[in-house]
Amino acid sequence: MHNFLDFEKPLSKLEAKIEDLRHLSDDGDINIADEVAKLQAKSDKILKQLYSKLTPWQKVQVARHPDRPHFSDYMEGLVEDFTPLAGDRAFAEDRAIIGGLGRFRGRTVMLIGHEKGADTNTRMQHNFGMARPEGYRKAIRLMKMADHFGLPVLTLVDTPGAYPGVGAEERGQAEAIACSIETCLGLKVPLVSAVIGEGGSGGAIALAAANKVLMLENAIYSVISPEGCASILWRSGDQAQDAAEAMKLTAQDLLELGVADVVVPEPVGAAHRFPVPAIAALGDAVEEALGELMELDPAALRRQRHEKFLTMGEAEATS
């Protein structure tokens, strides 16, 4: 049973009805099967309609959907022999960011990403994907290790943002993020980042100053949450819809702005309904991106990454 978003209401009734009928069909009445098929077709049509024209605010909701596949799902679906590596060697292990070695389609990679958790227990454990300085420092450590061994790095971004807490501030949240960005930029190995859900501000860019930035079709990536933006600029959090609209935070907007390089299509109805094909689609896109980058030498990889971020926004100046 799905968790239905507000805009998916028309679907929830239909799917409930289909479910009811399916239970009845155990009695062997053939007409009911016909009815189910009809309703299913109707439901599919509505789903297609709804998802063909999602507003930015609706995409925000889809990107944050609790059933949406998270880091662990991609890790299980795409990487063999995953071996998590823990700790920043200075203070603690931060489970908001998971990292480790694994084999992605035959090639050893360093996989790093935010994990939001899938239920109350794991969400608490992973702090809802909001990392503290230790998380970024672990990421830095692992990126440098990948650099040392000449392994490509794949990061999966899915975070509401860096954790705003007393300890996080005391231990240098800002410094940790700055250093993590710097480490991304300095790598001599390919770095591919994929925004799989929510790309929240500094917490996201800390892992995403990459050679190639992929975004899933219904992922978002922004400098501040629409709620935060609304409460500052509109003086009311209720205006989050307007803010989402104005901020241009969808994958399609970011492709146009030159921040995302590739938008990876999701099945109709989004990754939370059909996780398996969504995960596979991301895998294909990552494989393609990595394949291109593996042909570049270390200096060229750095140069390409530097050029990309030094000129970002300049494209708009000339057009």
Partner 1 sequence: MNWLSNFVRPKISAMVGKKEVPDNMWRKCPECGQMIFHRELEENLYVCPHCDHHLRLHMGQRLDLLFDGEGYQKIELPESVSDPLKFRDRKKYTDRLKDARSASGDNDAIIVSHGKIGGVPVVAAILNFDFMGGSMGLAVGEAILSAARLAVLQEAPLIMITASGGARMQEGILSLMQMPRSILAVNKVKEAGLPYITILTDPTSGGVSASFAMRGDIAMAEPGAVICFAGARVIEETIHEKLPEGFQRAEYLLDHGMVDMVVHRRDMRDTLARVLNLLCNPGPPAHVVAIPPSTISAKNGAAKTRNGGNKKNAAPHRRSTDKKDAGKD
User: Residues interacting with partner 1, by CB under 8 A?
Assistant: 162-166, 168-175, 177-179, 181-182, 184-185, 201-202, 204-206, 209, 221-224, 229, 232-235, 242-243, 246-249, 253-254, 257, 259, 306, 309-310, 312-314, 316-317
Contact 71, 98 (CB under 8 A): yes
Kindly state the smallest distance separating residue 59's Cβ from partner 1, in Å.
14
* Contact assessment for residue 14 and residue 46, using Cβ atoms and an 8 Å cutoff: yes
Tokens 């239905």 appear where? 4
CB of 238 to partner 1, least distance (A): 13
Least separation in angstroms between residue 133's CB and partner 1 is 9
The residue among 145 and 185 lying less far from partner 1, judged by its C-beta, is 185
CB of 173 to partner 1, least distance (A): 4
CB 280 to partner 1: min, Å: 27
Other CB atoms within a 10 A radius of the CB of residue 150 amount to: 10
Instruction: State which residue, 86 or 312, has the beta carbon closest to partner 1.
Output: 312
Continuous H helices in the chain = 9-24, 30-52, 56-63, 71-78, 120-125, 133-149, 166-170, 173-186, 201-205, 226-229, 240-247, 251-256, 275-294, 298-310, 314-318
Distance, in Å, from the CA atom of 94 to the CA atom of 129, rounded to the nearest integer, reads 10
Q: Please, what's the b/e burial string for 45-78 (b: 16 or more CB within 10 A of its CB; e: otherwise)?
A: eebeebbeebebbbbbbbbbbeebbbbbbbbeeb
Distance between CA 89 and CA 170 in Å, rounded? Answer: 17
Give the residue with the Cβ less far from partner 1, 100 or 186: 186
- State the minimum distance, in angstroms, from the CB of residue 163 to partner 1: 8
